[in-house]
Amino acid sequence: RCNKTKENDTEMSETDPFYSEEADGMSKRTQLEEYFSQSLEIDLLLRLCPDDEDTIYQIVDLLVDTCATKRKTLRIAGDD
């Protein structure tokens, strides 16, 4: 988003993406799903690449799993 104004940048930097009144009733996993879906513009990706829907959702799930875990080590595709 190259056309952001300085005012929008300031507003974004002051906002915690995982805490708001709206997010109070949501699980951390749901908050992360919402965050990544908006940040990565998943709706747009799905429209541009409809054949890759499964892959797109798998990537979001991997990001959410990685951020939601409390483990110190995470195994992905056999690698720690």
pTM of the model: 0.62
- Among 22, 20, 17, which residue's Cα sits nearest to residue 32? 17
Please give the residue range of the domain that contains residue 34: 29-66
pLDDT of the residue at 14: 44
- Please check whether residue 54 lies inside any domain of the structure: yes
CB atoms within 10 A of CB 31: 20
On whether the CB atoms of residues 44 and 1 are closer than 8 A, the answer is no
- Is residue 15 situated within a structural domain? no
Secondary structure class of 75 (helix, strand, coil): coil
Q: Is residue 53 part of a domain?
A: yes
The β-bridge partners of 76 are: 79
Query: Per residue in 10-57, pLDDT tens?
Result: 444 445 555 555 555 678 899 999 999 999 999 999 999 999 999 999
